[in-house]
Amino acid sequence: MASAPMAAPRKLRPERAVASLKGDLDASRALLWIGARNRLSDSIWSFRHLALASTEHPYQTGPGETELTMEILVFVKRVPATDSKIKVGADGKQIDPAGVEYVLNPYDEFAVEEALKTKEKFGGEVTVLTIGSADAQKELRTCLAMGADKAILLEADTSSVDASSISKCLAAKAKELGAQIIFCGKQAVDGDDAQVGVRVATLLGWACVSDVSSLELSDGAFVATRDIEGGKEKIEGKLPAVLTCQKGLNEPRYPNLKGIMAAKKKPLESSPASLESAALRVAGLTPPPARPAPAILGEGAAAVDLLIDKLKNEAKVI
Amino acid sequence: MARYKGVDFYAMDSLLSDEEIMVRDSVRDFVSDRFLPLVTEHYRRGTFPMELVPELGELGLLGPTIPEYGSGLSSVGYGLVLQELERGDSGLRSFVSVQGALCMWPIATYGSKEQKERWLPGMARGELIGCFGLTEPDFGSNPGGMTTRAVPDGDSFVLNGTKRWITNGSVADIAVVWGKLDDEVRGFLVEKGTPGFTTRDIENKFSLRVSTTSELIFEDCRIPKSALLGDVSGLKGPLSCLTQARYGIAWGGVGAAQAIYEEALEYAKTRVQFSRPIAGYQLVQDKLVWMLNEITKGQLLVLRLGRLKDEGKMHFAQVSLAKRNNIWMALECSRRARDILGASGITDEYQVGRHMTNLESVSTYEGTHDIHTLILGGHVTGLQAFE
């Protein structure tokens, strides 16, 4: 696998980046927990420190240098719009695409926005990458209009793939591109697997934080906050890393007119994806049961007993 | 709530470029997410959400078709922007029309290099706001009768007169003011704060409440000679600006009508009377179909007009036809929709009442419905009904 970045970012010294990436990708890093739990008012904060065996990281700067640049990669996916009426297709294993509107996965919008903010702060280049049909060019153009520098479509029929084969393909491409940080949505709202980001990080031997709702990046390190039950968890770590993005992380920008007009001139590369055959297949899809028509049980105090009885014995919620 | 999708009965999207669709959708989302949550409160108070102005600039909606300062957007793309803004409120669309078509456009077209550099970049970013002073208390449809006068005096002009019904008048940093110099209509750029230039807001409006409407008063207002828009004289100056703005208004009418239609359709499908939704009754269906029919025709009209504009073939009489038809159509839609909504249609819980009263203004400004009839009448007969 070629490890040279396809296009060296303007401010990055490519030789150094390649050398250090190789070090990082040895998968020889240890995951170290320094557990410390403090109860702060009603929140539980835990601090996890991810120590990397490789002390060098790709955008370590030399003496006197303050500019950092990054090869920033974003995984995105074309998914049915969340307000689409979904019908199960004739084969019972896929949805019927007729009349379904497709959009950029909403969680990926947070990922693109965070990538753009990272670029604005540190310089570098934002590449958006997807695996899918040629139709996904529309969503890639949206990302370019938001401000991404280039887009890559790995064309494939995704009806018979699984998270494993997708992740292997994406990880290989990330390596080839010389990516130093990867953002993706915490999950795609079609399959809701929430596996790809974590799997890619594992394959690359990188740090990974999922469901990130707040992020601070500095000189090769990050502090990510994730929402957990009843509180927040704050995680420190070093790059390279995969960060899966949750609502609240940022306010995705609207593509502005200049960005939209510039998008058509930006590179959108398309090539066939090389995907392993899937180990898993969808055996069947079942739509949720139709909601029963609402019934009015009565009015005022007289209806209370009946309502309690129904909640207890029919809905079984109390 | 489901994402607003607009009306596209004749698969118009397939006639639009990918960029045009993306621009429309971006503005559509902005209006849904950022503007509509604020509109009712501003309507009640009679204020414009000034906090959104930098965002309008950031989105590139201010003067996007101005050469060098814009984004090279097509006229259809620009029309779609205004359609989506007026889907929100005519006041929002008016803000953008005045800034782009009535202020930035004449500065870009008739202004000096210094005037362009001074004003256009800040106006495109929304840091500087413009207004357009043509109408006077006694001269509306007859702008040629204006009494505002500029008299040369050394290195200056001394301006006297009053302009009325001026959108953004009191919030503007720069006023494009039309007045007579040696009995010829000329344009002047008057900065906010110039001694002798004051403004007064017109309060208690029924219509365009989400928009500032003012009077501009010039009393021995001394402006430098460099404030003259040098490259145009005569009524052609202001009228050419109005052609730009009317073009956008014709698109805006489609946006308001779509908002109204969608609301009436949704209401009719869920409002049950005599055991079934009122959408199932023939008289309600007649109103809904009337709206769909007229919206579809209005869409095709402005799309064709936009393509003609980009080809450099648009005639001002064609703009008159589109403005006249589409605002009449939108106003008629609003009356039918209000009827479908019954009593609910008179509260601000629903948007139809706001659009309906707004459209009364839009029908009047930028050439009344009747004046456009006479422009077209003069065009087809060769006989002018007015001077």
Inspect the interface and report whether the beta carbons of B73 and A257 lie closer than 8 Å: yes
The predicted pLDDT at position B215 comes to 97
pLDDT of B10 higher than 90: yes
Q: Cβ of A138 under 8 Å from any chain B Cβ?
A: yes
Inspect the interface and report whether the beta carbons of A254 and B2 lie closer than 8 Å: no
Q: Do B180 and B159 touch, CB atoms closer than 8 A?
A: no
Average pLDDT in the B295-304 region? 98
Please list, in sequence order, all residues whose beta carbon lies within 8 angstroms of the beta carbon of residue A251, skipping any fewer than 6 positions away. Answer: A113
CA distances from B140 to A233, B134, B143, B164, B217 (A): 64, 8, 6, 9, 16
The predicted pLDDT at position A160 comes to 81
Residue-wise pLDDT tens digits, B145-182: 999 999 999 999 999 999 999 999 999 999 999 999 99
Quick one: pLDDT band at residue B183, thresholds 50, 70, 90?
A: very high
Check if B332 is active-site.
no
CA distance B159 to B217: 10
Inspect the interface and report whether the beta carbons of B26 and A254 lie closer than 8 Å: yes
Inspect the interface and report whether the beta carbons of B71 and A138 lie closer than 8 Å: no
Please list, in sequence order, all residues whose beta carbon lies within 8 angstroms of the beta carbon of residue A276, skipping any fewer than 6 positions away. Answer: A164, A165, A168, A169
Inspect the interface and report whether the beta carbons of A81 and B3 lie closer than 8 Å: yes
Helices (H) and strands (E) in chain B, counts: 12, 9
Nearest Cα to A257, choosing from B90, B251, B80?
A: B80
Q: Do A252 and A113 touch, CB atoms closer than 8 A?
A: yes
CA distance A9 to B263: 50
Q: How far apart are the first and last CA of chain B?
A: 52
The predicted pLDDT at position B2 comes to 66
The predicted pLDDT at position A68 comes to 55
Token pair of A95 as six digits: 């949805």
Residue-wise pLDDT tens digits, B184-215: 999 999 999 999 999 999 999 999 999 999 99
Render each residue's pLDDT in chain A as its tens digit; 318 residues. Answer: 334 433 333 333 333 333 333 333 333 332 322 223 333 333 333 333 333 333 344 444 334 344 457 899 999 999 999 888 889 999 998 899 888 999 999 999 999 999 999 999 999 999 999 999 999 999 999 999 999 999 999 999 988 889 999 999 999 999 999 999 999 999 999 989 999 999 999 999 999 999 999 999 988 899 999 988 999 999 999 999 999 999 999 999 999 999 999 999 999 999 999 999 888 988 999 988 888 888 888 888 888 988 999 899 888 888
Residue-wise pLDDT tens digits, B219-229: 999 999 999 99
Q: Do A204 and A237 touch, CB atoms closer than 8 A?
A: no
With a pLDDT cut of 70, the percent of chain B lying above it is 99
Q: ipTM for the complex?
A: 0.87
Q: For residue A30, what is the DSSP state? A: P
Select the residue from B18, B27, B84 to test the A interface by mutation, using most A Cβ atoms within 10 A.
B18
Average pLDDT in the B28-42 region? 96
pTM (2 decimals)?
0.83
- Cβ contacts from A onto B, under 8 A: 48
pLDDT of B376 higher than 90: yes
Q: Cβ of A263 under 8 Å from any chain B Cβ?
A: yes
Q: Cβ of A146 under 8 Å from any chain B Cβ?
A: no
The predicted pLDDT at position A70 comes to 85
pLDDT of B308 higher than 50: yes
How many C-beta atoms surround the C-beta of residue B94 within 10 A?
Answer: 31
Give the up-direction half-sphere exposure of residue B152: CA atoms within 13 A in the CB hemisphere.
9
Contact residues on chain B for A256, CB-CB shorter than 8 A: 26, 58-60
CA distance A184 to B232: 55
Average pLDDT in the B363-382 region? 96
| CA-angle at A294, arms to A288 and A295, nearest 5° | 145
